[in-house]
């Protein structure tokens, strides 16, 4: 059969031919390109030479087609995963893991890398080439190149098992999320909910064959406003418990997957000479060591805890005053926080939705990118899509009209898409067969959907999420390096969140909101009074918010720093670790860990702290922008030149100092959060 994965894409800019790719194409195509790559690698291994071009560039070209197919598959697996794709995913993952190990554990290939690395200063290499040979050598060593044959074999087994376990973990969370539905038959029980949410729930009920009732899923656009506004405490509890017990003691239980992942990660780290998985991971991070991470987290904890305790007492007193509740529970937190915010700030997040029509917010973010970096986004309709919700844009540089890259957006939840929000490099910027090519970048979110009577009206949190993911997209789109392994977001994990998190700051500024925040029906601009309240809300309940993030970070570090044999009971371990940060009573039958996909199915193991780490960077960097105006082109040019364009070509602290003129100041985060 004809296989589009084995043909050169005829689409504009060589875009993925999503419109003609079918699940049955993947395994045959992968087998074909792997067989071809293995033959080429056999020739490569016997070819004499240890120069950079042969060792690095030639090998990259050999494996490019495998990377291409893997990229398409895993993008679809996250954003549009049909049952057919899900069925073949374990085999795809197994084949790709084995192929990667065949390269990283091959002594002949490593011998070439080692020789090139040891002679790197004699080859007249530039800084980027030196960085990539050093990174390549270290990658081989960290993947077991210096091990004995028996240890290499065990590494293969571990890596293949970890790939399967991570996939199982992720699929269990998705299935548990998709399977749940809370049906409400009496509209009186929906008291307090925004009309838009009630309408969306009615439409979901109709879609599920339950017309006349209201249905609520565990998708963020439903669960977040429900827990924030529903007066019915029992229903809040029901929905909260369903979300907090995903993949826990049910048919999709992830507890054994979690334990197996921890054991294998620890064993792998020990084989490579590290005490723990955290030690292994942090060797390649700005933080460098578990101690430095823990010192950083403890410093934030000491500042946030007193504020959080005062905030908690306020919520408890409010719950007692309004509803006679003696013990406030986690599922009460958002509800009473919203009431308190209305009291103290005269502000309700729902007041903002009419000003945040999705199309306007997207147009606004393009204007921000234009003001800062001179970018122009032009929607196009000749680029293949994998779903009708996807929009595609060509990105150009103002004045020169140079092509910057392709940009895809995919904003609404569906059963085939995993939860959350992410940016993905469909095609990284860099060299392909001796030619530098521009990137194809995608952002995927799960935002409030349009209803029959209303367009997609975003919450403030959703607007912040869009700006966050767009920051990642800019990191990918504006990359300007030679080698794609160092391009865009291919940087230290605790640096990758800087370009994304700094973008959120613009949302709280009048100059930015004036670009897009106007009422979807009347065209009225958002008022200065509302803007002031938005800004004030950024510090509201920040103590509790910080403690919540620290809970995840401490839990992540604990899991990856202990002997995994001590993790015999997941909820007990979780409760012990979380005790210091959790002011709410522990609810039996719940577990954060079994759906903690960031660390058990994503790339954040021993790295969740990086969100707070990057907040220090972004708060400090945004203070620099504020010093001369948030759209100051001179500072934006510096940020582009030293952060967005450079990727992983230099150590991130050196890049940051070249942009900022100093190391980041933790005080900037504390000042912004009101925790100093």
Mean pLDDT in residue range 60-85? 93
pLDDT digits (tens, 9 = 90+) for 551-583: 999 999 999 999 999 999 999 999 999 999 999
Alpha helices in 80-148 (DSSP H): 83-104, 107-118, 127-142
Residue 467: CA count within 13 A, CB half-sphere: 28
Mean pLDDT of the chain: 95
Once rounded to an integer, what is the mean pLDDT over residues 140-154? 96
Strand 403-410 relative to strand 214-216, pairing: unpaired
Average pLDDT over residues 136-149: 95
- Catalytic residue chosen out of the listed positions 129, 338, 394, 469: 469
Mean pLDDT of 471-478: 98
Predicted pLDDT of residue 593: 98
Residue range 124-147: mean pLDDT, rounded: 95
pLDDT at 38: 97
Contacts with 454 (C-beta within 8 Å, 6 or more apart), sequence order: 196, 199
Helices (H) then strands (E): counts for the chain? 26, 9
- Which pLDDT band, with edges at 50, 70 and 90, does 359 fall under? very high
What was the pLDDT predicted at 206? 96
CA separation (Å) from 63 to 47, 155, 313? Answer: 17, 21, 58
pLDDT band at 272 (very low <50, low <70, confident <90, very high): very high
Q: Please give the Cα distance from 536 to 474 (Å, whole number).
A: 28
| Helix H or strand E encompassing 403 | strand 403-410
pLDDT confidence of 668, banded at 50, 70, 90? Answer: very high
Backbone angles phi, psi at 455, to 5 degrees: -75, 180
Per-domain residue ranges of the chain: 4-104+106-146, 180-226, 354-541+611-673
Report the pLDDT value the prediction gives residue 494, as an integer from 0 to 100: 85
Q: Which phi and psi angles does 554 have, rounded to 5°?
A: -65, -40
Residues with Cβ within 8 Å of 387's Cβ and at least 6 positions away in sequence, in order, are 79, 80, 410, 414
382-412 residue pLDDT tens: 999 999 999 999 999 999 999 999 999 999 9
Q: With bands split at pLDDT 50, 70 and 90, how would you rate the model's confidence at 503? A: very high
pLDDT at 379 > cutoff 80 = yes
> Which parts of 374-508 fold into alpha helices (H)?
460-477, 498-507
Catalytic site includes residue 83: no
Phi, psi for residue 232 in degrees, rounded to 5: -70, 105
Structure tokens at 235: 């229903």
Give Cβ neighbours of residue 80 (< 8 Å, ≥ 6 apart): 386, 387, 416, 417
The answer to whether 37 and 102 are in contact (CB under 8 A) is: no
pLDDT digits (tens, 9 = 90+) for 97-116: 999 999 999 999 999 999 99
Residue 318 — pLDDT band, cuts 50, 70, 90? very high
- Mean pLDDT for the stretch of residues 133-153: 95
- On whether the CB atoms of residues 447 and 462 are closer than 8 A, the answer is yes
Among candidate residues 578, 267, 177, 270, the one with its CA nearest the CA of residue 570: 578
Q: What is the mean pLDDT of residues 486-490?
A: 95
* CATH class of residue range 354-541+611-673: mainly alpha
pLDDT at position 418, please? 86
Q: What pLDDT score does 349 carry?
A: 84
- Using the predicted structure, report yes or no on whether residue 1 has a pLDDT greater than 80: no
Strand (E) or helix (H) holding 598: helix 597-600
Q: How confident is the model at residue 30 (pLDDT cuts 50, 70, 90)?
A: very high
> Which CATH superfamily, name and number, covers 4-104+106-146?
Endopeptidase. Chain P; domain 1 (1.20.1050.40)
As a whole number of angstroms, the distance between CA 547 and CA 454 comes to 36
Percent of the chain clearing pLDDT 90 (strictly above): 92
pLDDT number for residue 91: 94
Residue with tokens 């607007």, as numbered in its chain: 463
Determine the average pLDDT of the residues in 416-433: 92
Q: Is the pLDDT of residue 88 over 90?
A: yes
- Determine the 3-state secondary structure of 444 from DSSP: strand
Residue showing tokens 């995903």: 246
- The pair of three-digit structure tokens given for residue 39, joined into one six-digit string: 């033959």
pLDDT, mean of residues 158-166? 95
pTM of the model: 0.89
In the sheet that holds 375-380, the strands lie side by side as 375-380, 391-397, 403-410, 440-444, 422-427
User: Helices marked H in 508-591 — which ranges?
Assistant: 510-513, 528-537, 542-559, 570-578
């Amino acid at each position: 059969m004809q296989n589009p994965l084995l043909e050169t894409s005829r689409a504009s800019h060589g875009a993925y031919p999503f419109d003609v790719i079918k699940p049955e194409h993947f395994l045959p195509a992968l087998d074909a390109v792997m067989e071809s790559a293995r033959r080429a690698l056999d020739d490569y291994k016997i070819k004499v030479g240890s120069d950079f071009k042969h060792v690095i560039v030639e090998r990259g070209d050999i494996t490019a087609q495998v990377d291409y197919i893997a990229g398409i598959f895993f993008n679809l697996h996250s954003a549009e995963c049909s049952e057919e794709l899900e069925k073949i995913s374990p085999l795809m993952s197994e084949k790709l893991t084995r192929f990667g190990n065949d390269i990283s554990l091959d002594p002949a290939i490593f011998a070439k890398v080692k020789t090139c690395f040891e002679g790197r200063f004699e080859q007249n290499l530039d800084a980027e080439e030196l960085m990539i040979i050093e990174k390549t050598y270290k990658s081989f060593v960290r993947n077991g190149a210096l091990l004995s044959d028996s240890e290499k074999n065990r590494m293969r087994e571990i890596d293949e098992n970890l790939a399967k376990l991570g996939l199982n973990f992720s699929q269990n969370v998705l299935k548990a999320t998709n399977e749940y539905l809370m049906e409400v038959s009496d509209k009186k029980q929906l008291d307090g909910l925004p009309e838009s949410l009630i309408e969306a729930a009615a439409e979901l009920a109709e879609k599920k064959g339950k017309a006349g009732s209201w249905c609520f899923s565990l998708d963020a656009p439903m669960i977040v406003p429900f827990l924030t506004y529903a007066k019915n405490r029992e229903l809040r509890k029901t929905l909260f418990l369903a979300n907090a017990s995903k993949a826990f003691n049910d048919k999709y239980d992830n507890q054994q997957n979690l334990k197996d992942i921890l054991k294998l990660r620890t064993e792998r780290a020990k084989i490579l000479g590290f005490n723990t998985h955290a030690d292994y991971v942090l060797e390649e991070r700005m933080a460098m060591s578990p101690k430095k991470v823990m010192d950083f987290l403890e410093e934030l904890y000491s500042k946030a805890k007193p504020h959080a305790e005062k905030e908690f007492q306020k919520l408890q007193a409010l719950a007692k005053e309004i509803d006679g509740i003696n013990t406030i529970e986690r599922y009460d937190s958002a509800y009473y926080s919203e009431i308190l915010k209305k009291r103290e700030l005269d502000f309700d997040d729902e007041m903002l939705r009419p000003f945040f029509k999705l199309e306007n917010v997207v147009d606004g973010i393009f204007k921000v990118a234009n003001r800062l970096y001179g970018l122009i986004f032009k929607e196009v309709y000749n680029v293949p899509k994998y779903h009708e919700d996807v929009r595609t844009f060509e990105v150009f540089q103002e004045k020169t009209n140079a092509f910057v890259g392709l940009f895809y957006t995919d904003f609404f939840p569906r059963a085939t898409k995993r939860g959350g929000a992410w940016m993905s490099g469909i095609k990284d910027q860099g060299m392909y067969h001796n030619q530098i090519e521009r990137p194809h970048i995608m952002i995927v979110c799960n935002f409030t959907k349009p209803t029959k009577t209303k367009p997609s009206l975003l919450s403030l949190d959703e607007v912040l999420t869009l700006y966050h993911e767009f920051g990642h997209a800019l990191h990918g789109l504006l990359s300007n390096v030679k080698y794609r392994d160092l391009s865009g977001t291919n940087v230290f994990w605790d640096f990758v969140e800087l370009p994304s998190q700094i973008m959120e700051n613009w949302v709280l500024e009048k100059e930015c909101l004036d670009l897009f925040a106007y009422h979807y029906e009347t065209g009225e601009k958002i008022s200065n009074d509302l803007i002031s309240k938005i800004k004030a809300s950024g510090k509201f309940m920040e103590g509790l918010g910080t403690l919540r993030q620290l809970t995840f970070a401490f839990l992540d570090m604990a899991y990856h720093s202990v002997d995994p044999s001590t993790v015999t009971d997941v909820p007990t371990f979780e409760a012990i670790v979380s005790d210091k940060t959790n002011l709410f009573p522990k609810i039996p039958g719940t577990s954060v860990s079994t759906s903690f996909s960031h660390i058990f199915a994503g790339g954040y193991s021993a790295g969740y702290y990086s969100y707070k780490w990057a907040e220090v960077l972004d708060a400090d960097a945004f203070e620099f922008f504020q010093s001369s105006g948030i759209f100051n082109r001179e500072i934006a040019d510096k940020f582009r030149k030293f952060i967005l364009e450079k990727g992983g070509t230099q150590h991130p602290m050196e890049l940051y100092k070249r942009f900022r003129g100093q190391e980041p100041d933790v005080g900037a985060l504390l000042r912004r959060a009101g925790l100093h």
